[in-house]
Structure 1
Amino acid sequence: MAPAGGASDSDLRALRPSGRRALKVGRGAEAPPFLVMDVIAAANARAAALPAGAPGILRMEVGQPGTGAPKGAAEAAIRALRAGAPMGYTEAFGLPTLRARIARHYAERYGVAVAPGRIAVTVGASGAFPLAFLAGFDAGDAIAMAAPFYPPYANILTALGMRPQILPCDATTRFQPSIAMLEALDPRPAGLIIASPCNPAGTMLAPAEIAAIAAWCDANGVRLISDEIYHGLTWGTVAESTAAAVSSSAIIVNSFSKYWSMTGWRIGWLVLPEDLVRPVERLAQNMFISAPHVAQVAAEAAMDCVEELEANKAVYARSRARLLDGLPKAGIDRIAAADGAFYLWCDIGALSNDSVDFSARLLAEAGIAATTGLDFDPGRGARFLRLSYCGDEAAMAEAPARIARFLGR
């Protein structure tokens, strides 16, 4: 028997051999990796090791615009800093002027009235998703999404104890979910994530399809989350439509990272249904306090830099056209309809059934950084590759010739 106040034999055994109890590792640590980040690291290492004068690495692995923030955004940030503004905490949902400007964006672009009080400025779209998931769902809930999908959807849900419910999609549904797929779900999920344009396939849902999906969700008690971060980057094949126009219960996610070219500024936003405004605000107060003040100032100014942003978009359009013409000639000829965003989802099954190895060799032998499809579709992604075309225009123009040489064409 242990002396009063002392440790029992079992307690002592638990302390051996290190003298410490084993520390718990939380379930959230089991979240899968975001593989593209590993590709970035490998490409950086490869670039650093290149001898002087060697051809550089073509960066096609990540959705990061080759341009920086619009000049007007940077100048607004500089003015604010030089004025000696404290740049302290803002309200949890962001600067009132920025929220009002985002509301005006919905009126001007979509003809939809969105009250500024329903808008939450977030630490990028990446900070928006945990807020939306925690406010809208409980641990154990199933949230459906089409595959291929943006990996952090599933990884964040997994870390939060929720269950991604995968809807395998392919070219026959343009890599988007359908009402027939949703009707086949039994039991119904707690939520559904859609993305139009989607990452990685770049395909879009037509406005009538978004409206039908929103109506199905409302009728079945399913919370709709619409990822709209690639809005503004569409190529005229399908009309751009926001779920905010057809559903008062949907959660809309958007970001300044893509069209506005402000990835590192970490600014995004949510359009919230009325029932989630205060719950999300409480979560944001505790988890983030607020998005960076100076980045909010820059983001507000960026929304008026239309001429520069449209010039950036024209560069992406030219790169897209060159790749869609050149890649089939180089040997990659099965490419998803690229309605929007700045990615090409390439079926390389005729060339390889191991896209991890294929992308590694593409980097080592051709100097092209690309992302394995396994990041976006663990079940079928071994035969797919994602190529981003938002980088330097000259580099994108060079890619087909390098790929042709790599494939011996």
Structure 2
Amino acid sequence: MRYEKMTPFRVMDLVRQAQNYEDTIHFEVGQPDLLPPPGVKKALLEAVESDRYAYTESMGLFELRRKIAAHYRHDYGVEVDPACILITPGTSNAFLVAYLLTLEEGGVLGLADPSYPCYPNFAAMVDVQPRFFPVDRSNGYLLRAEDLAGSRLDAVHISSPSNPTGTLYDAETLRDLATYCEGEGVALISDELYHGLVYGKRAHTALEFSQEAIVINGFSKYFCMPGLRIGWMIVPERLIRPAEIIAQNLFISAPTLSQYAALEAFDYDYLAQVRETFKKRRDWLHEALDPLLPVDAHPDGAFYLWCDASAYTEDSDAFSRELLEAIHIAVTPGVDFGKYGTQTKLRFAYTRSIEHMAEGVERLRRYLLK
């Protein structure tokens, strides 16, 4: 059975167990605690009042697709045809659409190890073979074109900034990767969900370097709208119709109310405050945590720290459970993200207030000193 090839998220077991403790400090869940831009709620309520409950077309509201195209012009100076944009129920569905567009049964998908665990699980759903390429501190936790040479891949899937490491693809590395993929006939899928949450650097979209890239993004992180389940993907013109057919069958259309709400998400003044809040949290937690559990990857973006717990454990899953049971701190075990070096890594999310995190760090400090 296909599901037997899939691995569970161990962190979800921890999330459930954490509910047993009223004083749990949460470093595990990767969702923002901030509200979306104020216009989002107003637009959502107006959509409800206007009884907008019907399906939209499968590609999504054209007005929203125009707004997303304008966003790429604003943030990257890239022109995107709204016709190439598909609105999806979150980014997870976009990953599945991308795999169905680019990979035949038995095809080979290149992934970094560690990387987001949904990628190989979706590959299992569509009978695709993942091929993992180890990344670590020595190569900046980035998958590079030279790593792929001679690999006979059908597609490669990257994330920038990365979950779990927060590392960002610089322009040169992303350009080289896009050039390699175009030259070898390999589909490039770029997960850019954490764009906007980038600190002190400029994020580059794969579309700056290749019109053949498939780019995926959404409203869950930077726009603080995780529960509205709304995302988007940008496909080459030749794949518009196939993407539409897949969407029609997979989910008919993205949630209508969420699409109308997303029309008011591009409030750049408000979003700048969101970014600054997470930057302050990153800086605080990095300084507080690094002496205890050294941060192994420079967190350019997203809202995660990838920490080295090798001084205390060779089993990050067991150690995460130990921390939850002993001091009521919930963290994500590194083994959720792959096999290469993950047995001694923990992911800390800075998605709660500094006051909340400070209590957790103090508990951790006292516990580790024992």
Letter in 2 for 1:287: L
Deviation by residue 1:155-188 (Cα, 9 ceiling, x = unmatched): 11012100111001110011111222111x43x1
What is the SS of the residue equivalent to 1:90?
coil
Structure 2 residue aligned with 1:361, among 309, 322, 339? 322
2:48 — aligned with what? 81
The aligned counterpart of 1:3 is: none
Amino acid at match of 1:37: M
> 2:169 — aligned with what?
205
Show CA shifts across 1:51-91 (max 9, x none): xxxxx211111111012332210111112212x32321001
Of 259, 272, 275, the match for 1:310: 272
Q: Spell out the pairing of 1:205-224 with structure 2 (5 A cutoff).
A: 205-224=169-188
Question: Is 1:138 matched up with 2:101?
Answer: no
Give the Cα separation in 1 of the matches to 2:251 and 2:336: 27
Kindly provide the amino acid, as one letter, of the partner of residue 244 in structure 1.
L
* Amino acid in structure 2 at the alignment position of 1:194: I
- Provide the secondary structure at the position in 2 that maps to 1:302: coil
With the length of structure 1 as denominator, give the TM-score of the two structures.
0.88
**Residue 35 of structure 1 aligns with which residue?**
10
Q: Distance in 2 between matches of 1:68 and 1:378?
A: 35
Separation of aligned partners in 1, 2:35 and 2:329: 22
Map 1:309-348 → 2, pairs under 5 A: 309-329=271-291, 331-348=292-309
The aligned residue for residue 113 of structure 1 is 79
Distance 1:74 1:29 in 2: 40
Q: 1:238-272: CA deviations, max 9, x gaps?
A: 42100011111110000100000111100000010
2: distance between equivalents of 1:167 and 1:283?
29
List structure 1 runs of 4+ shifted beyond 3 angstroms.
none
Provide the identity percentage: 39
- State the distance in 2 between where 1:263 and 1:240 align: 21
Kept in 2: contact 1:315–1:393 (CA 8 A): no
User: What is the CA-CA distance between 1:399 and the residue it aligns to?
Assistant: 2.6
Partners of 1:28 and 1:335 in 2: CA distance = 32
Which residue of the partner structure matches residue 205 of structure 2? Answer: 242
Write the distance in 2 (CA, Å) between the matches of 1:285 and 1:293.
Answer: 14
Q: Counterparts of 2:320 and 2:268 in 1: how far apart (Å)? A: 36
Matched, 1:60 2:27: yes
Counterpart AA for 1:372? P
Measure the CA separation in 2 of the matches of 1:74 and 1:335.
38
Gaps of 5+ in 1: 1-25, 51-55
CA distance in 1 between partners of 2:325 and 2:37 (Å)? 34
Could you tell me which residue of structure 1 aligns to residue 36 of structure 2? 69
Write the distance in 2 (CA, Å) between the matches of 1:291 and 1:215.
32
2: CA distance between counterparts of 1:328 and 1:81?
47
Name the count of aligned residue pairs. Answer: 370
Which residue pairs with 1:371 in the alignment? 332
Larger radius of gyration: 1
How much has 1:215 moved relative to structure 2?
0.2
Aligned letter for 2:85?
I
Q: Matched residues in 1 for 2:145 and 2:48: separation?
A: 50
What does the per-residue CA deviation read over 1:285-331, in whole Å, with 9 as the maximum and x for residues that have no partner? 0110100000011111111x2233222222211111111111133x2
Tell me the C-alpha RMSD between the 2 structures: 1.4
Please state whether the residue corresponding to 2:98 is helix, strand or coil: helix
Q: Is the 8 A contact 1:121 1:268 kept in 2?
A: yes
SS in 2 for 1:193: strand
Question: What is the SS of the residue equivalent to 2:369?
Answer: coil
Question: Shift of residue 379 of structure 1?
Answer: 4.1
- Aligned partners of 1:319 and 1:397 also within 8 Å: no
* Structure 1: distance between partners of 2:76 and 2:273: 21
* Structure 1 CA distance for aligned equivalents of residues 305 and 287 of structure 2: 12
Equivalent position SS for 2:195: coil
Q: Which residue identity lines up with residue 323 of structure 1 in the other structure? A: L
**Alpha-carbon distance in 2 for matches of 1:299, 1:35:** 31
